[in-house]
Amino acid sequence: MSAKPPAQADVVIIGGGVIGLSVAYHVARSGAGDVVLLDEGSFGAGSTSKAAGGVRAQFSDETNIRMGLRGLEVFERFGELFDQEIDLHQDGYLFLLDNPDDVADFERSVALQQSLGVPSEMIDAAEAKRLSPLIDTEGILAAAYSPRDGHCTPESVVLGYARAARRAGATLMTNCAVTGAEVTGGTIRAVETQGGRIETGTVICCAGAWSRPVAELFGVDLPVDPLRRQIVVTEPIPGLPSTMAMTIDFSTSFYFHPEGPGMLIGMSDPHEEVGFKLHRGEEWLTGLAGAIERRVPSLSEVGLASGWAGLYEMTPDHNGLIGEAPDVSRFLYATGFSGHGFLLGPAVGEVIGSLVAGQAPFVDVSALGADRFERAALHHEKNIV
């Protein structure tokens, strides 16, 4: 453990990824009192540092579109706001579509995005090839593209928010795992950690893939399951274009973008099972090789230099959980974003800061409460990578 935590705090935040640190920054700035953030390891070492770093507003759900836009606004000004460069590349997101139903879904999504100010558009296969020169366009019916989207460095975003949260007065604790909770009559009294007890009346769960067991300590059910996703980075590729859109073969979830002199590549494994599996595996490489051969055959001859595994925090409808538990005062949560938590971090922190202060957030997140599953009111997000 890095240090002994304070004996009392007005707000305790659990989880030190980009969402937890953004929340700490915004809550501390809101005048909520003494704010303490706890992480069982180092900041960003969970899922944030394993992310591909994509940032976008191309979603199917209006709430996510609005939050994605707010996130883009922050990422574009991150160096100015937080004195931390994040290596932002706004070369766009390009969704390749080879299924008529997906084309129809994206046409509806793009129309909604445009109505909210996103510069997205539907384009043909030839234009997609111009934006992502390595692709084979066979079978592509259409594509969706927004030039404002892109990717940046997650670790740099973590550093920026950590520094800003401390400047705002928050106490940030690494290597301080939460071990229990005191809840009396539906009211939180304290958080127990391996370093000692913290008396508090407000807890915010931002524990990502670990949110279900953390919430259970307080008597709250958050339907979040960990699902391993893997990424590889290729060896240097001679003649690789200096700019290229983050490209997603939507029907397979195969995606890639330039990473230094090589290419960062990822894809979901349809056979992956829920669990806290943090090691790399070989099973998914066969499916990945097939997707590469079909869509970007030139990459089949390129060697792999490195790779890693991380966890998605999955919910039943592939959408995030933001809200406050009705039966435990005060337990708030921001988790379960099913792969798009990093890019929503700036907006989610702002939303939680407003909720803690009893103010209406800039976007209505009431439909993202965890009680939607009890009411069978699922709130699906279709544009999941």
CATH number at residue 175: 3.50.50.60
**The pLDDT value given to residue 1:** 47
Helix (H) or strand (E) holding 295: helix 285-295
Q: What is the pLDDT of residue 193?
A: 97
141 and 247 part of one domain: yes
Q: Is residue 382 part of a domain?
A: no
Domain boundary among 298, 314, 330: 314
- Give residues with Cβ within 8 angstroms of 167, minimum separation 6: none
Contact in structure between 14 and 204 (CB atoms under 8 Å): yes
pLDDT at 143: 98
Q: Are 261 and 292 found together in one domain? A: yes
Do 168 and 126 reside in the same domain of the chain? no
Q: Which domain holds residue 248?
A: 93-147+226-314
Distance CA 303, CA 240 (A): 14
Assigned domain for 380 exists: no
Say if 333 falls within a structural domain: yes
The single-letter DSSP state of residue 4 is: P
Structural domain contains residue 283: yes
The pLDDT averaged over each successive group of 10 residues in the chain (385 residues) is 86 97 97 96 88 94 97 98 96 98 98 98 98 97 98 96 98 97 98 97 97 98 97 94 92 94 94 94 94 96 94 95 97 96 97 97 97 88 89
Residue-level pLDDT at 377 = 82
> For residue 143, what are its two tokens?
């594509």
Last residue of a domain, one of 299, 314, 329: 314
Q: How many CB atoms lie within 10 A of CB 297?
A: 12
In-domain check, residue 110: yes
Helix (H) or strand (E) holding 73: helix 62-76
Q: Is residue 58 part of a domain?
A: no
Q: Are residues 304 and 366 in the same domain?
A: no
Shared domain for 251 and 297, answered yes or no, is: yes
Q: Residue 243's pLDDT is what?
A: 87
- Classify residue 2: in a domain, yes or no: no
**Residues 246, 293 within the same domain:** yes
- Cα distance between residue 47 and residue 317, in whole Å: 20
Torsion of CA 39, 384, 68, 143, to 10 degrees: 150
- What residues have CB less than 8 Å from 274, skipping those under 6 apart? 225, 226, 227, 314
Same domain, 270 and 129: yes
- Residue 87: inside a domain, yes or no? no
- How far, CA to CA in Å, does 284 sit from each of 134, 135, 199, 203, 256? 22, 21, 45, 38, 16
Sign of the four-CA dihedral 248, 249, 253, 257: negative
Considering its fold, how many domains does the chain have in total? Answer: 2
pTM of the model: 0.96
The answer on 297 and 272 residing in a single domain is yes
Same domain, 240 and 306: yes
Residues 141 and 238 in one domain: yes
CATH number of the domain to which 111 belongs: 3.30.9.10
Quick one: 305 and 230 in the same domain? yes
Looking at the fold, whether 298 and 348 belong to one and the same domain comes out as no
Pick from 314, 334, 359: which residue ends a domain?
314
